[in-house]
DNA sequence: AAGAATGATTGCCA
DNA sequence: TGGCAATCATTCTT
C-alpha cells in the first residue's frame, strides 16, 4: 500500500492545515465550485459499493488521492468524535455472568476444566465416594466413568480451543478490516476496542453454550454412574450357595457377626454397594447384610416355599458333617444325629465349621470366633436331617418339621433355638441345646 | 409379556 | 446402629 492508515489519533481535529476548507470564502463563485466538487466526491463515495471490486479499488485510490480528501476526512473525524462521545456511556463493562461462573465452577469441580487427569480421577473418586462403594468390583465402573469423563474433557478442550482459535482469527480479521477501512473513514481505537469486545462477547456466549452442554453431559454421566448402584446384578450361583449354606446352617440365629459378614463377602466375592449411611464404618459386608435381611424376612414370610431349599441345604451340610465326623470318630454314626451332641465331633465336623474351613482362606481364625455358632449350626443341620428322615410321629411334631426353627410366636428369631426336645422323638441334643441357649 | 425372584433402598423402631 | 418391613427396580423364568 502506498499510504498509511489514517487512524483518528493521528489526525488533528478540525480544519487546520487544510486551506480551502472551513475557511470563510468571500468569493461566492469559488465556493459554488467547491460545493460541486464536494458533491461530486460524495456522489462517488455513495456509488462506490455499486461498482465492481476492481472499479471500486481504482475509485478508492482516486478518492484517496483527491485533493479534498484530507479535509473531508477531518470533517468525518470531527463528527465521529462527537458520536463516540455519545456512545461512550452506553458501553459499560458488565459484571461477570453468574451463570457462567457457576458453569466454570462446576467444570472445575468435576475435573473437566481443571488440571490434567488428576482432576478427573478425583471427581470420579468423589462420585464413587458419594455412591458409597469402594469395592474392587466397582473399579470397572470407576474406570468406565473415568473414561467417559476424560472423553467429555477431551471434547470440551478441543472445542474450547477451536472456539478460541476462531475467536482470535475473527478478531484479527476484523482488525485488519478496520485498519483497511481506516483509510477511507475515521476509526478510533475505542471503536476497535468496542468491536473486539463485541466479538469476544459473542464468542464467549458460544463458549457458554459449550460449557453448558458439557455440564449437562457430566451430570448425565454422573447420574448414570450413581444410579448404577441401584442396578441389581444377581449374585452368582456359588455366592448364593455359600450364603444359603450359612443361612440354613445358622437357621435358629441367622445373624452373622460383622466378621462373618466380611468373611462371607470375601468368599462370595460379593459386590459392595451401600448407600444407607455414608457414616457406615464398613461397606464391605452390606450386600451380605442385605442378603441376610432379605432372606430372613422372605423366609419368615413364606416358610413353606423355602422348606425344600432348607432341607436341601440341611441335608447337604449334614452329609458333609457326617462324612467328616465319620472320618474323625467311628463312634458317631450319621444316622444318629443326637450322638453329634458331643463337643468333640462338633469341633471339626460341624457343618458351619467345615463350611468355613473349606471355603475360607484363613478358616482357622474364623473358627475360633465361631465356636458357639458352630454348635448351633450343628443343631440346625441335625434338625433338618431329622426332619428329612421323617422321624416325627405325632401331628404336632409333624407340623413343626417344616416350621421355622428359631422363629418365635411374634415372628422374630429367638435367641435360643427351638426346643428340639419337644419335637425330637429321640432324647435330643440336650447338651447342645444348653450350649447354645446363650 | 407377565409374573416371580431378588438385590437394593428407605423409613421406622428399639 | 442394626434389623424389620415395605417397596422399588431389575433380572430371571415361564
Per CA to C1' distance, which residue is closest to C2? A289
- Distance (Å, whole) CA A427 – CA A178: 109
Spatial distance from the CA of A388 to the C1' of C8 (Å): 37
Mean pLDDT in order along chain A per 10 residues (438 residues): 47 40 47 74 77 79 80 79 60 69 81 62 46 45 71 88 90 87 78 87 88 79 61 84 92 90 85 42 64 93 86 83 64 35 30 35 33 48 46 35 51 49 34 32
CA distance between the termini of chain A? 105
A221: CB partners within 8 A, 6+ apart: A145, A148, A149, A152
Residue A234 Cβ < 7 Å to strand B: yes
Q: Is the Cβ atom of A277 within 7 Å of strand B at any atom? A: no
How far is the C-alpha of A438 from the C-alpha of A434, rounded, in Å?
A: 8
Task: Sort residue A353 into left (φ over 0), alpha (ψ -120 to 50) or beta.
Answer: alpha
Nucleotide nearest to A293 (CA to C1'): C3
pLDDT for the residue A100: 83
Report the distance from CA of residue A398 to the C1' of nucleotide C4 in Å, as an integer: 29
- Give the predicted TM-score (pTM) of the model: 0.45
Return positions of chain C under 7 A from a protein CB.
Answer: 1-7, 9-12
Answer yes or no: is A290 CB < 7 A from strand B: yes
User: Torsions phi, psi of A272, nearest 5?
Assistant: -115, 125
C7 C1' – A438 CA distance, angstroms? 35
Alpha helices in A285-394 (DSSP H): 286-301, 303-328, 343-349, 351-359, 363-369, 371-389
Closest residue, CA to C1' of C5: A297
Q: What is the pLDDT of residue A298?
A: 93
Distance CA(A183)–CA(A181), nearest Å, equals 5
Contact A273, A229 (CB under 8 A): yes
Element (H or E) spanning A215, and its range?
A: helix A189-227
- Return the beta strands (E) in A97-217 as ranges: none
Residue A182 phi/psi, 5° resolution?
-65, -10
Q: How far apart are CA A121 and CA A129, in angstroms?
A: 12
Q: Which nucleotides of B are covered by protein (CB under 7 A)?
A: 5-10
Which nucleotide lies nearest residue A411, CA to C1'? C4
Q: What is the pLDDT of residue A431?
A: 33
The answer to whether the beta carbon of residue A269 comes closer than 7 angstroms to any atom of strand B is no
CA of A56, C1' of C9: distance in angstroms: 73
Give me the residues paired with residue A407 across strands.
A413
Name the grid cell of A133: 462403594
Q: Stated in angstroms, how far is A241 CA from C6 C1'? A: 26
Which nucleotide is closest, CA of A257 to its C1'?
A: C2
Other Cβ atoms less than 10 A from the Cβ of A413: the count is 20
Q: Report DSSP letters for A117-178, one per residue.
A: THHHHHHHHHHHHHHT---GGGHHHHHHHHHHHHHHHHHHHHHHHHHHHHHHHHHHHHHHHH
Which protein residue has its CA closest to C1' of B6? A234
How many angstroms is C1' of C9 away from CA of A357? 36
What count of other Cβ atoms lies within 10 Å of the Cβ of residue A354?
A: 23
Q: What pLDDT was estimated at residue A295?
A: 94
Compute the half-sphere exposure of residue A291: CA atoms within 13 Å on the CB side of its CA.
29
How far, in Å, are A49, A123, A323 from residue A360 at the CA level? 91, 36, 19
Q: What phi and psi values does residue A51 have, to the nearest 5 degrees?
A: -95, 165
Grid cell for residue A78: 470531527
Q: Cell numbers of A189, please?
A: 481505537
Q: Is-contact A198 A178, C-beta < 8 A?
A: no
List of protein residues whose beta carbon is under 7 A from strand C: A 227, 230-234, 255, 258, 277, 279-281, 289, 293-294, 296-297, 300, 411-413
A237 touches strand B (CB under 7 A): no
Contact A167, A195 (CB under 8 A): no
What are the phi and psi torsion angles at A370 (to 5°)? -115, 20
Count of alpha carbons within 13 Å of A244, Cβ hemisphere only? 21
Interatomic CA–C1' length for residue A23 and nucleotide C14, angstroms: 106
Does the CB of A276 fall within 7 Å of any strand B atom?
A: yes
Give strand letter and number of the nucleotide nearest A133 (CA to C1'): B8
**Does any strand B atom come closer than 7 Å to the Cβ of A294?**
yes
User: pLDDT > 70: what percent of chain A?
Assistant: 51
Residue with cell 488533528: A12
What are the grid coordinates assigned to A224, written together? 448414570
The nucleotide lying nearest A273 (C-alpha to C1') is B8
Judged by C1' against the alpha carbon of A292, the nearest nucleotide is C3
What burial class does residue A360 get, using C-beta atoms within 10 Å of its C-beta: 0-12 exposed, 13-18 middle, 19+ buried? middle
CB under 8 Å to A113, separation ≥6 — which residues? A104, A107, A156
Q: Taking a C-beta distance cutoff of 8 angstroms, is the pair A377, A418 a contact?
A: no
Looking at residue A52, what is its pLDDT? 79
Residue A378 corresponds to which cell in the numbers above?
A: 450343628
Closest residue to C6 by CA to C1' distance? A297
Q: What is the pLDDT of residue A2?
A: 42
Amino acid at each position: 500500500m502506498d499510504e498509511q492508515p489514517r487512524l483518528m489519533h493521528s489526525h488533528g481535529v478540525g480544519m487546520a492545515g487544510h486551506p480551502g476548507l472551513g475557511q470563510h470564502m468571500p468569493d461566492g463563485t469559488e465556493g459554488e465550485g467547491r460545493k460541486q466538487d464536494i458533491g461530486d466526491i460524495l456522489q462517488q463515495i455513495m456509488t462506490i459499493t455499486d461498482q465492481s471490486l476492481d472499479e471500486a479499488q481504482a475509485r478508492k485510490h482516486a478518492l484517496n488521492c483527491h485533493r479534498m480528501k484530507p479535509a473531508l476526512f477531518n470533517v468525518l473525524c470531527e463528527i465521529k468524535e462527537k458520536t463516540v462521545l455519545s456512545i461512550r456511556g452506553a458501553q459499560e463493562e458488565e459484571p461477570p455472568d453468574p451463570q457462567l461462573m457457576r458453569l466454570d465452577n462446576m467444570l472445575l469441580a468435576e475435573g473437566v476444566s481443571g488440571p490434567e487427569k488428576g482432576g478427573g480421577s478425583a471427581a470420579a473418586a468423589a462420585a464413587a465416594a458419594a455412591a458409597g462403594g469402594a469395592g474392587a468390583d466397582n473399579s470397572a465402573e470407576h474406570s468406565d466413568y473415568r473414561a467417559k469423563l476424560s472423553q467429555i474433557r477431551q471434547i470440551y478442550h478441543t472445542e474450547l480451543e477451536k472456539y478460541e482459535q476462531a475467536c482470535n482469527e475473527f478478531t484479527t480479521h476484523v482488525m485488519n478490516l478496520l485498519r483497511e477501512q481506516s483509510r477511507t473513514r475515521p476509526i478510533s481505537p475505542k471503536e476497535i476496542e468496542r468491536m473486539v469486545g463485541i466479538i469476544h462477547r459473542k464468542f464467549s456466549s458460544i463458549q457458554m453454550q459449550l460449557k453448558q452442554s458439557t455440564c449437562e453431559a457430566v451430570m448425565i454421566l454422573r447420574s448414570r454412574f450413581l444410579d448404577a448402584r441401584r442396578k441389581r446384578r444377581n449374585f452368582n450361583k456359588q455366592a448364593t450357595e455359600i450364603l444359603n449354606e450359612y443361612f440354613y446352617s445358622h437357621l435358629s440365629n441367622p445373624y452373622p457377626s460383622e466378621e462373618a459378614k466380611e468373611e462371607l463377602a470375601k468368599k462370595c466375592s460379593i459386590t459392595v454397594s451401600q448407600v444407607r449411611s455414608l457414616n457406615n464404618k464398613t461397606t464391605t459386608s452390606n450386600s451380605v447384610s442385605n442378603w441376610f435381611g432379605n432372606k430372613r424376612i422372605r423366609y419368615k414370610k413364606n416358610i413353606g416355599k423355602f422348606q425344600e431349599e432348607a432341607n436341601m441345604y440341611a441335608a447337604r451340610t449334614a452329609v458333609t458333617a457326617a462324612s467328616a465326623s465319620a472320618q474323625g470318630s467311628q463312634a458317631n454314626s450319621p444316622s444318629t444325629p443326637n450322638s453329634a451332641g458331643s463337643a468333640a465331633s462338633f469341633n471339626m465336623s460341624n457343618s458351619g465349621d467345615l463350611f468355613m474351613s473349606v471355603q475360607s482362606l484363613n478358616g482357622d481364625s474364623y473358627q475360633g470366633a465361631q465356636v458357639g455358632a458352630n454348635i448351633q449350626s450343628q443343631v440346625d443341620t441335625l434338625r433338618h436331617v431329622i426332619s428329612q428322615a421323617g422321624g416325627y410321629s405325632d401331628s404336632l411334631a409333624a407340623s413343626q418339621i417344616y416350621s421355622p426353627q428359631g422363629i418365635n410366636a411374634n415372628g422374630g428369631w429367638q435367641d435360643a433355638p427351638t426346643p428340639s426336645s419337644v419335637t425330637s422323638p429321640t432324647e435330643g441334643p440336650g447338651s447342645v441345646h444348653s450350649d447354645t441357649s446363650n
